[in-house]
Amino acid sequence: MGMKIVKLTENERNNILENLLKRSPGQYVEYENTVREILDNIRERKDEALFAYTEKFDGVKINAGNIKVTKEEIEEAYKAVDPGMVDIIRKSLANIYEYHKKQVRQSWFDSKPDGTILGQKVTPLSRAGVYVPGGKAAYPSSVLMNIVPAKVAGVEEVIMVTPPGKDGKVYPMTLVAANEAGADTIYKAGGAQAIGALAFGTESIKKVDKITGPGNIFVALAKKAVYGHVSIDSIAGPSEILVIADETANPRYVAADLLSQAEHDEMASAILITTSEELAKKVSDETDGFLKELSRSEIIKKSLDSYGYILIAKDMQEAVDTANEIASEHLEIVTKNPFDIMTKIKNAGAIFLGEYSSEPLGDYFAGPNHVLPTNGTAKFFSPLSVDDFIKKSSIISYSKEALGNIHKDIEKFAESEQLTAHANSIAVRFE
């Protein structure tokens, strides 16, 4: 059995790229009408529609009186979570905070002796909405990764939405993580209906400026549909890992790392590119061993069968070129000199160097954001960051003298575009 081992050729590479792109959320047109209908209903009927959908999809009666999570509910959540776990959340939070603090940008102004002042004013968004999936798929690590950059950026109000369980409560660990990270308000709402509420506002939930956070296909399509009305982080596809390894890599570690992403879901992708045939065979064998022990082995098997590959490259350059084409969300470099290879990588969400920097380190603890571009979008998108929660305004100020030196140029430019009122607005100042 083991993972499929393939010799890299131009043809193989193209087939793999095509296969991986099938996992894009854009492929699910059949749900788009359902999502549109939900969003239209929320837009028109607001809370009424939100409560009706919550009853329909989550099986819980929610109303204006209990949609908002109370202080008591948060205290109750702390009692339900192991104190050791709260401690780990706090340590992780400190690392995430430290890393994101280094991303903060200042406004700048540049004044010249000729009387011009130009600049850029950086302003945090007023209100950000964070979506958190419910139940067992609730990842407290994701709560931290979405709220911290918003808070570091200076967002005044961070609103979190998450579907309630059958008991009408929010998963305790999610509440603890949200409270530690500094969420201002938490609402019990999930699915496309919660995205609609954040985008358009209802009586209970205020409209936000930007929506971030992962969710199922309905959430992803709802985010896509409200984009432009509000901003969104990205439309996340299934998780993926790519490992570049040479003969010095430990096959057991490599196999473990590949499986760490394959367990997310059946659409996840795990790829090893190596210059060593011997390593390829050993990694394939090791994955078999692990599959006998791991709890989610059914999911892992399906993921590896559909989107798992071990590719044999003729040299490191070919391995690097293929990695840049695939533009993986997570990229591990386990070679003699990982830093050397890293300089040649153009496209990857997060890059992990050396055999002690396995991917889960980034998921939970190191500090860099784990909300990363998937599905080849690392060619043009970046990890979630403080930049996602600010916007920039341009500042322009000229003195009379500064404008006097160039006013004829502007007038001429405006006239060449037949915009005489534009020209006139400059000319009147020098009549």
Which active-site residues does the annotation give? 329-330
Q: Report the C-alpha gap between 143 and 75 in whole angstroms.
A: 18
Tokens at 63, concatenated:
């109303």
Tokens at 323, concatenated:
């990695």
Is-contact 275 314, C-beta < 8 A?
Answer: yes
Q: Report the C-alpha gap between 64 and 53 in whole angstroms.
A: 14
Q: Report the C-alpha gap between 56 and 48 in whole angstroms.
A: 12
Question: What sign for the dihedral angle of Cα 73, 75, 78, 80?
Answer: negative
DSSP track, 13-67: HHHHHHHHHTT-GGG-GGGHHHHHHHHHHHHHHTHHHHHHHIIIII-----TTTS
CA 426 to chain centre: 45
What is the β-pairing status of strands 240-245 and 157-162?
unpaired
Enumerate residues 6+ apart whose C-beta is below 8 A from 227: none
